[in-house]
Amino acid sequence: MSQSAEVPVKPGSPLPGIEVKNHPLPVWYDGPPRERIVTDDARFHAAYTQTIGRNADGFSVRESIGCGRRAVTGVEVRNYLRGSLGFWLCSQGSITEDDTIHYRQTAQHHTISFTPDRTSGLIIVYPDRCITAAAYQVAGTDGQPQTWSQNAVRHAVTEALRPGPIDWPDGWALLMPDETIRFARGGFPWAPGDEYTATPVSVPAQWGAPCAECNWRKSEHDPNRLWGNRCRKYRCPVTN
């Protein structure tokens, strides 16, 4: 069942979709079957439109993202749910089949709804679930496109998503509607990592011999040498 975010759920009415919580049902739960999805396992898009319910009855919304601004990011929505569902013990959240998210403090509060921009890409949390092609053509801001295996792309995205020291921006990765992967490393604010694009391609007839230095295939060396265990002695061939 889908619920339009422009027509928020009335106070007292059940939230549509599957319940969203920060934790799964406890092992000792013996009540009726309940569909529940953990916040970290939910599908979050890169961009959303925030809609705040303003019905005549019920309690008003006392919290929202960015003082009620309309355009919000998926990271903001995810962090908002994590914090609010953990802080307000009676709070409720749900996600519908079209990935619209609803949240309210209690059943008697107005609802905040988040409508995803489905062209913005899905936030990748688990690379092994999203990076499924056998081979990708990877291009960065510098250098020639290279053919990487599934394992190489997963490794690079995992490195990009690895949390950095406090106050350093983390990297990010998105699964786009055309199955392309976009990702970038974190780093110092004055030297952010380049953005990479990995496009699914046919598996090459021959991958070539592995590098004697690092055991990665030579076609998987990053010209900028940014990704983890790539060989630091390799130099990308110069083309005129």
Predicted model pTM: 0.84
Helix (H) or strand (E) holding 198: strand 195-200
Question: Alpha-carbon torsion 34, 45, 76, 68, what sign?
Answer: negative
- Chain segment 130-143, per-residue pLDDT in tens: 999 999 999 887 66
Identify the weakest region by mean pLDDT among 80-84, 111-115, 183-187: 183-187
**Among the listed residues 169, 176, 134, 170, the one whose alpha carbon sits nearest the alpha carbon of residue 153:** 134
Assess whether pLDDT exceeds 60 at residue 228: no
What tens digit of pLDDT does each residue of 56-78 get?
677 888 788 887 789 999 999 99
Residue 136 has what pLDDT? 95
CB atoms under 10 Å from CB of 118, counted, come to 13
